[in-house]
Structures are given as C-alpha cells and as structure tokens.
Amino acid sequence: MNLKDKVVIITGASSGIGRATALKLAQDGAKVVISARRKEKLEELKKEISDKGGTALVVEADVTKRDDIKNLVKQTKDTFGVCDVLVNNAGIMPLSYMKNMHVDEWLKMVDVNINGVLYCLAEVLPDMVERKSGHIINISSVAGREVMPGSAVYSATKFAVRALSDGLRKELSPGHNIRITCIEPGAVETELTESITDEELMDDFKNKMGDLDFLDSDDIAKAIYYAVTQGDNVHVNELQIRPVSQG
C-alpha cells in the first residue's frame, strides 16, 4: 500500500515508539494525527514533520477519557475526512511486585493499556466497517506472551491487547476487509520505565536488563511501516521484534 495521503492516528506520539512511527509514516506521505497528553511535545514533533515536508495534526487527548478520544477522531474526520490507520500505541509500564500492593498503578495500567485501546477502537471501527477498509495496529509486547516476576499486571494488559487483536482479526478481516496487526516489541530504549516506583523491583530490573543492547524506537517504527505498506491482499498479523541480546 502506498502511504501517500493515508490518514493515520497515532496515540502516545509524544515520545518513544509513537513519535518514531509518526516521523517514519509522515516521511512516506501519510497524514499523521499525533496525539498524547503533552501538547508541547506534540507541537515540537509537528514542526519537525512539517520542516521535512510532511503533514501532521496535533490533538491533545488522554486515552482514559472517552470524550477526549471522541474528539480525537472527530477532529481527524473534520480535518482529513477519514481515518485509514489507527496505531494504538499509548501505554504505561509501572512494573511492581504484587506483594508490594501498588494497587493504584495496577488500575491505571488497565485503564491506559486496555480501556484506552477500547475507546479508540470504538470511535474508528464503525466507519471502517462501513467503508470495508482500514488497518488497526495494536502495540502489545513480548510481555504479552511471557510473564516475569513484577510484570503480572502489565503482562495481563498486553495479553489482553493480543487477545483483542486476535478477536478483531477473526471478526473483521474476512468480509470486512479490515487488517489488524499486533506488534510485540522486546526491550526498546524509551521513557517507558520512568513510571516504575517500586524500588525493590527497580533494583532487580536494572540488574536483569543492564547488559541488554536495547532497540531504538525507530526499529519498531520500521516494523509498523512494513505492516502498513503491504499489498492489498497481504495481512501481517503479528510481528515480534527483540534486541539480539534479549533471550
């Protein structure tokens, strides 16, 4: 598929994987709708995209607020008429040991990583179903396949994203021509670990991850680019991308 003039909504575009994806897709001609809570970061990204000749629309939105997501999709349609691709990327990872009872963080993860995805799906799917066209990219994780001590709740949310992707594909690909791709990154150097407050876990995490040669966000953006630029009959279901040093 040629990305020229395709309209792509990217949540969590203010940093890391979302930011790199916006740059990569805009470089190939996509009109990117970049969304997150930190508007100033989004404005900086928009300028970077515009300076390179691309087109970006900034929409500030918290994925846990359904009205924000309604507004995100409305502004997309008012500006560009359609949403061709949704990248459900916004996510948080305040890892913690269950025994340390970071209950508010458990609930916040469920809200951002699962409810946030559902709110976005609820706004874009009706048009995609009607048009019999569209592509949903869901960002899960290798933690959506394996559970480690300290990752139980995060993994639960990422298992959920993978289950949603599977279910969507089975319902909406045959007959409705909607493609669903689940991206499962390994360790990528981003701001993601900054939300970890469990000091006991953080000490163990640093020891465990210390030797890893982390991927760059751009490595994942390239995988997303691959998934969205395949031919009409090609459906990339899942991509798992890890650093070579991560077993």
Minimum distance of ligand NDP from residue 131's CB (angstroms): 26
Q: Is 17 in the site for ligand NDP (CB under 6 A)?
A: yes
Q: 226 catalytic, yes or no? A: no
Candidates 95, 139, 160, 164: give the one binding ligand NDP (CB under 6 A).
Answer: 139
Between residue 146 and residue 205, which ones bind ligand NDP under the rule CB under 6 A?
185, 187-188, 190-192
Distance of CA 54 to the CA centre of its chain: 21
In angstroms, the Cα distances linking 146 to 98, 103, 153 are 16, 22, 12
Give the interface segment with ligand NDP, choosing from 24-32, 59-67, 75-83, 97-105 (CB under 6 A): 59-67
Q: Is 16 left (phi over 0), alpha (psi -120 to 50) or beta?
A: left
Structure tokens at 160: 């959920």
Distance of CA 76 to the CA centre of its chain: 17
In angstroms, the Cα distances linking 67 to 37, 58, 77, 85 are 14, 16, 15, 20
**Nearest alpha carbon to residue 164 among 116, 209, 132:** 116
Q: Is 32 in the site for ligand NDP (CB under 6 A)?
A: no
Minimum distance of ligand NDP from residue 134's CB (angstroms): 20
Minimum distance of ligand NDP from residue 55's CB (angstroms): 20
Give the interface segment with ligand NDP, choosing from 7-15, 163-171, 224-232, 233-241 (CB under 6 A): 7-15
Give the ranges where 94-198 is alpha helix by DSSP (H).
Answer: 103-109, 116-131, 152-172
Question: Is 41 or 176 the residue whose CB approaches ligand NDP more closely?
Answer: 41
Binding footprint of ligand NDP on the chain (CB under 6 A):
11-18, 36-38, 41, 62-64, 89-93, 112, 139, 141, 185, 187-188, 190-192, 217
The catalytic residues are: 154
